A and B are shown apart, each in its own frame.
Chain A
């Protein structure tokens, strides 16, 4: 311990301090989810001077009635309350998994072609795919609202899945292309000389080698869909993904901070686990694969 302290330099202190500052909003958020109603609203910041409670989680995740909890009745109302969020969590899971599977599937095929075939004007094709990413979500949401209304996809899981897939495709394609580029072309060519078809080479030889890259791409697509807000807000009314559901807790009669922080904290768990798993590939993902890390 003493040895550790002696090795400490001023720079280490600064580094820890900066990271603590960045962690504070998260800490305050999670802390608030365990506070009873009154402790959240104290003017002087209340760090640990309260009786920690799981009531907020009981109301948001288990559908308990807050009135009953406050009066000590403790009855479960099983989803009667509008704060019951399990349906929203299910909506989010369906949409995030659906759009991740679609985006990774389509992008893997396209990325392999972009990596391996001599395509004319390849640079322009890549830029065209990247340009899809520049579309402001609102510019996508307005026409899709009408198109989905006409073909019956408005307020359906499939509609949001399609929209999220579309927005994820540029990231997934460019990212996977950079992973495919890492696999030597000679491998494909020697296998093809041995009589394997293109698809066999892709399926049996190249794909197993980029499994890690595909997993990282899938995680980044999942997180995008899990956190996306505007499109879900504008294209749905009965399906509410978690970010949209949370904002409905800000009501004209007051903001349910306890429930907001409880649901918000719960929604962070999968993202945090996934992002820590794919740390290594994060930089590539965030720069759409344009930089090798």
Chain B
């Protein structure tokens, strides 16, 4: 039996085939497990991300019939599942963001040509941004971070969160407004 390399297939095709050949879902795992884990690690830290990412991938396997094959990549769908998993650990997520707000947010970006006062200002702004993120409601924070941290388009965020595109836009608008306000207030408070 000769075996030529099967042509690469998109996630949708693999998931459809996995309905009758479940083991094929491992291909989806191989493609996206790292990205899902990194997404969750950014939100709750690496330790809890181990548990949540495993839950996400197993939930994806269980619910793969619900995946719409019209969408080629499974990644937005997986982000959506991960976000739902994350909601059950919302307090952990906020706690993680608050912890971030206490850290130097730009540890690797202390450029030599950067004025010290600018850098201090940027670091302070970073801490305030993290605190501002922790202050958003979950819906706004999810949209904002899927766009800003994961680089998803508005359409992909809508797909991930199963909400209309208009809802994505309005949540993002509210989130950005709140963040700008928080930054300005913090700036006003700084000596």
The answer to whether A and B interact is: no
Q: Which residue numbers of B lie inside 8 Å of A, CB to CB? A: none
By a beta-carbon cutoff of 8 Å, the part of chain A in contact with chain B is none
